Structure 1
Amino acid sequence: MSASITDQLPVVVVGAGPIGLAAAAHLVERGLEPLVLEAGPSAGTAVRDWTHVRLFSTWAEVTDPAAEKLLAPTGWVRPDGATYPTGGDWAENYLQPLADVLADKVRYGVTVTGVARAGRDRIVDSGREEQPFTVHLSTAHGREERITARAVIDASGTWSTPGPLGANGLPALGEKTGAGRISYRVPDLRDPAVRARYAGRRTAVVGSGASAFTALAYLADLAQEEDGTHAVWILRRGIGAQTYGGGEADQLPARGALGLRAKAAVESGHASAVTGFRTEAVERDGDRLVLVAEDGRRLDAVDEVIVLTGFRPDLSFLSEVRLGLDERLQAPAALAPLIDPNVHSCGTVYPHGVNELSHPEQGVYLVGMKSYGRAPTFLAMTGYEQVRSIAAAIAGDQEAAERVELTLPETGVCGGAGLFDEPEQNADQSGGGCCAAAPTTLQIGIGAPVTASGGC
């Protein structure tokens, strides 16, 4: 197939979440044809799984400039830029309207099952770069389809692949059989059925990020209302000066307050901390579960387990394209040193684009949370800059692709979404339900409930 014919093909975007839809908006702005493939029934399907959680970022920081231009002719007006959306606000008031404007450029209920060069598996060199991509997908009705594309932007996120309970990165022995009492999400205790699951019960919370803080704070609140409710906070490391974040000195006040809430939960006795506990097995004790550590320690039985150990990318449908990934983070090799969580925080990650996101297979890009692999420091603003750069590169504007158009704030180590506001906090603020106490930036992904098929 000639280059001119290939250039007429659509750019397939996997995932109709914040970054996937922003990619489509930038492609449209460049005169390119996007086709967004979303596994769920609506835009931001995975974001809708955490409608109850409020972001650390303001509206001004979670909308993309090209998307806003696309929305403007419809009369869409961004909510107050100084207020803070919940996941539900974000999906309903921004993501879905943006997808509606894109209209037939977005398809729902389609799952990408494979990406390859037409007629070439990953081994074959001959004529490889001249071939377009073939995207394999299945529909909600079980029908198989093939789409030919000039490039593929994978913004499918990591929401569908949470980290397991096992400390070695694999499921603990018995984790699968105990699945009925193990959750991998921050619970929405406003839901009566969810509330009943944890009220008056003993729950293990595994993890050390902001999602774990959030779950501990929720359960502590529940303990004040429902006798017998108790959380057991399981940490793989010990408790140190940074365990609870920056507290009152945190540059993100809401994140600092969240850490203080978790600390208060422990100090008040509503939660107890178990340190240096690396789970190896889950055993049954009647209807309850017993966690067993690698060193043989056994905890008292719990009724429920909430595992909040991060997320990881699903690379299975990319097996026939040539990716250059870091061996630790599973992020693009050139990007990995810039986002290593042992070195960098959200604010210290240098804005990056097509150069850092390119792979040996030209024309394939992992963006958004998926581009960070297992690193937990992803910012929505970073993702918007990624897709701006990539759209420019696909359009042949290399100067714009390599130009940095984003200045990140110094935010410290990011840790996920904030607590849902209490009524008294909402009472004196405005913004159509997007009101939180004073946080300033967003992490989507590890530690925060975020998208898989939505690609944040």
Structure 2
Amino acid sequence: MVDGLPVAVIGAGPVGLAAAAELEQRGLPVLVLEKGATAGAAVGEWGHVRLFSSWRDLIAPAAEKILAAEGRQRPADAAYPTGAEWVRTYLRPLADALGNRGRVRLRFGTEAIGVARRGRDRVVDAGRSEQPFTVHIRGADGAEERILARAVIDASGTWTTPNPLGADGLPALGELDASVSDGISHRIPDLADAEARRRYGGRRTAVVGRGHSALTTLVALSELAEAEPGTRVLWVLRRGEVGDAFGGGEADRLAARGALGIRAKAAVDAGRIELATGFRTAAVRCEGGRVVLADDSGRELGPVDEVVALTGFRPDLSWLSEVRLGLDPALQAPVGLAPLIDPNMHSCGTVYPHGAEELAHPEPGFYLAGMKSYGRAPTFLALTGFEQVRSIAARIAGDHEAAARVELTLPETGVCSGSGLTEEPDPTEEAGCCGPAPAGRTGTGAVRG
């Protein structure tokens, strides 16, 4: 029933393209479906942010082989790219290279809006596993289509579904009101942009959250305050104390991540950032064009001009209603994976490498991969996603020995949510990835392992 059908990969981000590369290397036909107009569209939306993983940890092994075959050169391992650099010099070249291979098709501007078994809703058992998947898609012109697939890897991420400001997981009272919502952002601001500097400069901003996205924003705003008089920063924490929010510091094996925490702590210690701890937002309201936050006890913060709510993300499972998923009730991650990534117990460095076995669902042949597989846990690293799809591709190809093998060692310490600093790297570091190889250096030798 499924012979000759492609594996559908949903999402052309870092993990989706890594999945396509792994499948292609195993001789399987692949169809990549991407809602955005280009590869890495979601990454491009935070392109101004510098990752705290270096190039060493941002290139998938199978992808490297494909790029090497086209004479593309691997960048300096120690350099730290921005999101835009990751897209421009790795993800888009990888998508082009994959498209040059006869077994891979990429469709951009194509949104997956549903997945099911052909002729079977989620209730029907009879003949279910013998039927291919049907993936319902919508093009940029609104036209809908149904395609068949032998397996589905959903690597669509969580970027479009940030958690609300409300501490109970639902929007705070008033949060969706137009007069309030215009003053709430869920993204790290790009303060190199003139419009963003006008929005935040000389004004008071509340940053809600404790992950590295929040720390990145706090550092950037505190530096803006030194250049723009009247700029004030309020850090709102749900917990009663800062605790380990600053991460591993100098002991962090991801040096850029540790440096971020050190700089954020210095800004707090210097009084450039005001702290409000033990505050769980229950309601928001507009007061004279500004925003006031309130908790259940009646405590209020503000008014502030802007709120940057960096409270994490969650998976959009609404279009997977006809797939039999096995999800942890708390994290919304696969039940086999959830105990390994529980943020109450783990940082990214203490997450045991995992693959197809832990990511399996009651629906054979369907997998969540990448950030979406982590549900609401914030501890994901690109390296983890590359290992996930290596194992998944092996399982789909029938290579169960390779699927069960562990081929990854993760960096330790720190809490791995969020992103790194926005500043330029050391100019002595070699920048760029996967550009044309220098003359006389082509093929595998042009890519350093």
- Corresponding residue number in structure 1 for 2:123: 123
Q: Which of the numbers 204, 216, 219 marks the counterpart of 2:218? A: 216
Confirm or deny: 8 A CA contact 1:255 1:415 kept in the other structure. no
- Corresponding residue number in structure 2 for 1:21: 17
Give the drift of 1:144. 0.5
- Corresponding residue number in structure 1 for 2:335: 333
Give the drift of 1:406. 1.5
Give the drift of 1:433. 6.2
* Alpha-carbon distance in structure 1 between the residues aligned to 2:243 and 2:330: 26
Moved more, 103-112 or 188-197: 103-112
- Corresponding residue number in structure 2 for 1:447: none
* Alpha-carbon distance in structure 1 between the residues aligned to 2:333 and 2:413: 22
Q: Which of the numbers 332, 341, 344 marks the counterpart of 1:342? A: 344
* Alpha-carbon distance in structure 2 between the residues aligned to 1:25 and 1:219: 39
Q: In the TM superposition, what are the counterparts of 1:416-427 in structure 2 within 5 Å?
A: 416-421=418-423, 426-427=426-427
Cα distance change of structure 1 residues 308 and 240 upon mapping to structure 2, 3 Å threshold: closer
Confirm or deny: 8 A CA contact 1:53 1:86 kept in the other structure. yes
Confirm or deny: 8 A CA contact 2:52 2:421 kept in the other structure. no
* Alpha-carbon distance in structure 1 between the residues aligned to 2:353 and 2:303: 46
- Corresponding residue number in structure 2 for 1:392: 394
* Alpha-carbon distance in structure 2 between the residues aligned to 1:323 and 1:243: 33
* Alpha-carbon distance in structure 1 between the residues aligned to 2:353 and 2:266: 36
- Corresponding residue number in structure 1 for 2:183: 181
- Unpaired runs of at least 5, structure 1: 435-456
Give the drift of 1:267. 2.8
One-letter code aligned to 1:20:
G
* Alpha-carbon distance in structure 2 between the residues aligned to 1:69 and 1:244: 37
One-letter code aligned to 1:74:
E
* Alpha-carbon distance in structure 2 between the residues aligned to 1:266 and 1:402: 46
Q: In the TM superposition, what are the counterparts of 1:250-261 in structure 2 within 5 Å?
A: 250-261=252-263
Q: Which of the numbers 273, 277, 280 marks the counterpart of 2:275? A: 273
Any idea what SS the aligned residue of 1:41 has?
Answer: coil
* Alpha-carbon distance in structure 1 between the residues aligned to 2:321 and 2:302: 43
Confirm or deny: 8 A CA contact 1:56 1:416 kept in the other structure. no
Give 4+ residue runs of structure 1 displaced > 4 Å after superposition. Answer: none
Cα distance change of structure 1 residues 147 and 91 upon mapping to structure 2, 3 Å threshold: same
Confirm or deny: 8 A CA contact 2:207 2:309 kept in the other structure. yes
Moved more, 405-414 or 65-74: 405-414
* Alpha-carbon distance in structure 1 between the residues aligned to 2:217 and 2:12: 27
- Corresponding residue number in structure 2 for 1:140: 140
- Corresponding residue number in structure 1 for 2:287: 285
How many residues align? The count is 427
Give the drift of 1:407. 2.1
Any idea what SS the aligned residue of 2:36 has?
Answer: coil
Confirm or deny: 8 A CA contact 1:229 1:270 kept in the other structure. no
Q: Which of the numbers 43, 47, 66 marks the counterpart of 2:43? A: 47
Give the drift of 1:390. 0.8
* Alpha-carbon distance in structure 1 between the residues aligned to 2:235 and 2:361: 40
TM-score of the superposed pair, with normalisation by structure 1? 0.91
One-letter code aligned to 2:189:
P
Does 2:226 align with 1:230?
no
- Unpaired runs of at least 5, structure 2: 434-449
Does 2:64 align with 1:68?
yes
Cα distance change of structure 1 residues 237 and 224 upon mapping to structure 2, 3 Å threshold: same
* Alpha-carbon distance in structure 1 between the residues aligned to 2:247 and 2:57: 22
Cα distance change of structure 1 residues 282 and 276 upon mapping to structure 2, 3 Å threshold: same
Give the drift of 1:241. 4.2
* Alpha-carbon distance in structure 1 between the residues aligned to 2:264 and 2:174: 28
Q: In the TM superposition, what are the counterparts of 1:164-175 in structure 2 within 5 Å?
A: 164-175=164-175
- Corresponding residue number in structure 1 for 2:447: none
Tell me the alpha carbon deviations over residues 359-396 of structure 1, each in whole angstroms, 9 at most, x when there is no partner: 00001000000111011111111111111111111111
- Corresponding residue number in structure 2 for 1:86: 82
* Alpha-carbon distance in structure 2 between the residues aligned to 1:136 and 1:433: 37
Confirm or deny: 8 A CA contact 2:251 2:413 kept in the other structure. no
Any idea what SS the aligned residue of 1:24 has?
Answer: helix
One-letter code aligned to 1:119:
G
One-letter code aligned to 2:67:
L
TM-score of the superposed pair, with normalisation by structure 2? 0.93
* Alpha-carbon distance in structure 1 between the residues aligned to 2:59 and 2:403: 20
Give the drift of 1:322. 0.1
* Alpha-carbon distance in structure 2 between the residues aligned to 1:412 and 1:199: 31
- Corresponding residue number in structure 2 for 1:431: 430
Confirm or deny: 8 A CA contact 2:117 2:132 kept in the other structure. yes
Any idea what SS the aligned residue of 1:147 has?
Answer: strand
- Corresponding residue number in structure 1 for 2:442: none
One-letter code aligned to 2:26:
R
* Alpha-carbon distance in structure 2 between the residues aligned to 1:413 and 1:201: 30
Tell me the alpha carbon deviations over residues 108-133 of structure 1, each in whole angstroms, 9 at most, x when there is no partner: 00000000000000011111111101
The alignment-based identity, stated in percent, is: 65
- Corresponding residue number in structure 2 for 1:453: none
One-letter code aligned to 2:429:
S
* Alpha-carbon distance in structure 2 between the residues aligned to 1:241 and 1:152: 40
Does 2:91 align with 1:95?
yes
Cα distance change of structure 1 residues 408 and 252 upon mapping to structure 2, 3 Å threshold: closer
Q: Which of the numbers 9, 13, 18 marks the counterpart of 2:5? A: 9
Give the drift of 1:403. 1.2
- Corresponding residue number in structure 2 for 1:367: 369
